[in-house]
Amino acid sequence: MFPDASSLKKVILVVEDNAQVRSVISKALKLENYVTQQAKNGHKALEILKTIRPDLILSDINMPIMDGLEFNKRLSQKPQWSAIPFIFLTSNDAPEDIQRGRELGIEDYLTKPIESDELVRIIDARLYRSTEIKIAHIGQAYLDTVDTLANAIEERDKFTSGHVKRVTTYSLWMGKALNWPHQHLRALKFGAMLHDIGKIAIPDQVLNKTHSLTSAEWETMKKHPLLGAKILQGVSHLRDAIPYILYHHERWDGSGYPKGLSGKGIPVQGRVLALADSYDALTTTRSYHPARPHDEVIEFIKMKAGEYFDPQLVPIFIKIMNTHKQNSS
């Protein structure tokens, strides 16, 4: 069953002891497609909050039984209420009330008598700001989740300490050089951080083997892109990262894995990450080779353009890496 239109409207709790003022505010907000709940003091408002969670609270300061300042204090003591956006109503002649409210952390005020346009403008702005904060918190929560997963990968593979962070840095340099928009850079960051997540499912005796892998062990290791993509398939906010995970070991000539794609049949996400991943793998010590100098690795990547790597992306990558190398010297 689909929700009716009213259930999608923002709900404003109006807390004001003057019934006429409450009515004027509620009518103005109704014209702007808001739904209002009304309470004549803080005590009544707390009762209403037991049954609904409004999107914003608009409260007078001076009220009988429980004033707005005490009401706000009660809200701050409850985690489920403390994050609700809050606007105080005050009189022109009450600067001390504004000061007391600011001491509680309230920055938004409406002064009586209230103009309808100003009322709507302030409420719209406060709700917009609240939405931005929520989005930022969600984004940070996603990043924290990804960071935790990335750390779990490195804790399992003792030969790749710092690999995820470096590959993420190199990949983002490439994305910015290619003028990718913000949302693509965000997916790139997540994809680079999680590109080896499939190694979580690789047995320790294979992942941390100190000498050459057998043919069977190598086939097991080559499954990690598929395993990683499978892990993230059910995580909606990380699906855009899957091409990085699935295709970063494909080669331009079709000799890579897991699907043996070639040329521009390899999604660009995989082609970009392949460069960053290979550069870091070659310039750091691994169980199967010592770290190689920057210049030597750059020559190798140049030589493998059109064989392992996208020949159009190689010059861009080399220019970026040389520039950063010079700047860090």
User: Catalytic residue among 112, 158, 189, 199, which?
Assistant: 199
Residue 261: count other Cβ atoms within 10 Å of its Cβ.
19
CA dihedral 283, 286, 291, 292 (to 10 degrees): -70
Angle CA 156–283–275, to nearest 5 = 85
The length of the chain is 329
112 - beta bridge partners?
91
Contacting residues for 55 by C-beta, under 8 A, at least 6 apart: 10, 11, 12, 84, 85, 127, 130
Contacting residues for 97 by C-beta, under 8 A, at least 6 apart: 61, 62, 69, 88, 90, 91
Half-sphere exposure of 273 (CA within 13 A, CB side): 31
Determine how β-strand 35-39 pairs with β-strand 56-60: unpaired
Q: And the tokens for 96?
A: 């001390």
Q: Is 73 a catalytic residue?
A: no
Contacting residues for 284 by C-beta, under 8 A, at least 6 apart: 160, 162, 163, 166, 291
CA dihedral 317, 249, 282, 329 (to 10 degrees): 30
Contacting residues for 76 by C-beta, under 8 A, at least 6 apart: 82, 104, 105
Active site residues: 199
